[in-house]
């Protein structure tokens, strides 16, 4: 009984996260200015990281945790680089 | 059947509740990102997902793997620490850049630059 509940909860959570990712993609496509698109990219990678964690719980492999750590790291670097680009017009001065 | 069936019922229910809460917070954050009016309002919404959403999901993951393996597993704490450190930094940089761009354009919606700044 509780295991069917867990399966249903994980699938529902994955659907919600997919919807959340598609909302941020819509904002990235619409987003009137460049900073909106960067913000949407930031939200997209955080949601992707959370989705990867749910996949890890579903498959029972600890490796997905390391993969989501790498997504968080690269996403941080990407957002910082893009914000610097928006501010100065170049990434490395 | 699969590994999730070996979880005891209390752990299964706890993990289910934590997973659902995390996904709900991330979902609400993305709705805010889609629906709020301007950039300075929108920048608040996704932080809901990157703080509470991520932390509930990390708690679910820690509970699940610790119970499955029979010993405490804390790899996920690294992600939590990393997110806590980086989210404010990235968003402050991004808002600074947006404010700079808006001021350069002479927009009337943002406060003027202070003289001593």
- pLDDT of residue B1 exceeding 60, the answer is no
**Most confidently modeled of A39-43, B3-7, B48-52?**
A39-43
Q: Does residue B30 sit at the A interface (CB-CB below 8 Å)?
A: yes
Extents of the domains making up chain A: 2-88
Which of A10-24, A34-48, B14-28, B101-115 is the least confident region?
Answer: B101-115
Residue B15 neighbours by CB under 8 Å, 6+ apart: A6, A9, A57, B7, B60, B63, B64
Q: Taking CB atoms and an 8 Å limit, are B20 and A79 in contact across chains?
A: no
| Average of per-residue pLDDT across B24-30 | 93
Residue A44's CB: how many other CB atoms inside 10 A?
A: 22
- pLDDT at site B114: 73
B11 vs B110 pLDDT, higher one = B11
Min Cα–Cα distance to chain A from B88, Å: 11
Average pLDDT, chain B: 86
| Average of per-residue pLDDT across A21-31 | 90
- pLDDT of residue B50 exceeding 90, the answer is no
How far is residue A29 from each of residues A22, A51, A65, B61, measured CA to CA in Å?
10, 21, 29, 32
Q: Does residue B12 sit at the A interface (CB-CB below 8 Å)?
A: yes
- pLDDT at site B3: 77
- pLDDT of residue B84 exceeding 70, the answer is yes
Confidence grade of residue A88 (pLDDT, cut at 50, 70, 90): confident
ipTM reported for the complex, 2 dp: 0.88
How far is residue B2 from each of residues A3, A7, B68, B114, measured CA to CA in Å?
10, 11, 12, 62
- pLDDT at site B25: 93
Confidence grade of residue A93 (pLDDT, cut at 50, 70, 90): low
- pLDDT of residue A84 exceeding 60, the answer is yes
The model carries a pTM of 0.88
Q: Taking CB atoms and an 8 Å limit, are A19 and B91 in contact across chains?
A: no
- pLDDT of residue B117 exceeding 60, the answer is no
> Which residues 36-95 of B are in CB contact (within 8 Å) with A?
39, 42-43, 45-46, 49-50, 53-54, 57-58, 60-61, 64-65, 68, 73, 75-76, 78-79, 82-83, 86, 89-91, 93-94
**For an interface test with A, which of B13, B17, B33, B66 has the most A Cβ atoms less than 10 Å from its Cβ?**
B33
Q: Taking CB atoms and an 8 Å limit, are B20 and A42 in contact across chains?
A: no
Out of A23, A47, A65, the one facing B75 most closely (by C-beta) is A65
| Average of per-residue pLDDT across B76-85 | 89
Phi, psi values for residue A89, rounded to 5°: 90, -5
The per-residue pLDDT for range A29-77, each reduced to its tens digit, is: 987 888 899 999 999 999 999 999 999 988 888 888 889 999 999 999 9
């Amino acid at each position: 009984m509780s295991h069917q509940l867990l399966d249903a909860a994980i699938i529902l959570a994955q659907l919600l996260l997919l919807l959340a990712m598609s909302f941020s993609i819509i904002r990235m496509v619409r987003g009137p200015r460049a900073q909106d698109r960067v913000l949407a990219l930031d939200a997209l990678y955080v949601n992707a990281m959370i989705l990867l964690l749910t996949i890890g719980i579903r498959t029972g492999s600890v490796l997905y945790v390391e993969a989501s750590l790498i997504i968080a790291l690269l996403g941080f670097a990407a957002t910082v680089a893009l914000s610097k680009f928006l501010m100065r017009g170049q990434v490395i001065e | 059947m699969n590994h999730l069936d070996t979880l005891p019922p209390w752990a299964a229910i706890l993990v289910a509740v934590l997973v659902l809460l995390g996904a709900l917070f991330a979902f609400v954050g993305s709705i805010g990102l889609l629906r709020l009016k301007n950039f300075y309002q929108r920048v608040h919404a996704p932080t809901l997902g990157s703080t509470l959403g991520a932390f509930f999901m990390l708690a679910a993951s820690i509970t699940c793997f610790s119970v499955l393996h029979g010993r405490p597993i804390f790899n996920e704490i690294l992600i939590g620490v990393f997110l806590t450190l980086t989210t404010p930094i990235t968003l402050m940089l991004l808002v600074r850049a947006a404010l700079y761009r808006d001021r350069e354009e002479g927009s009337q919606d943002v406060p003027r630059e202070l003289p001593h700044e």
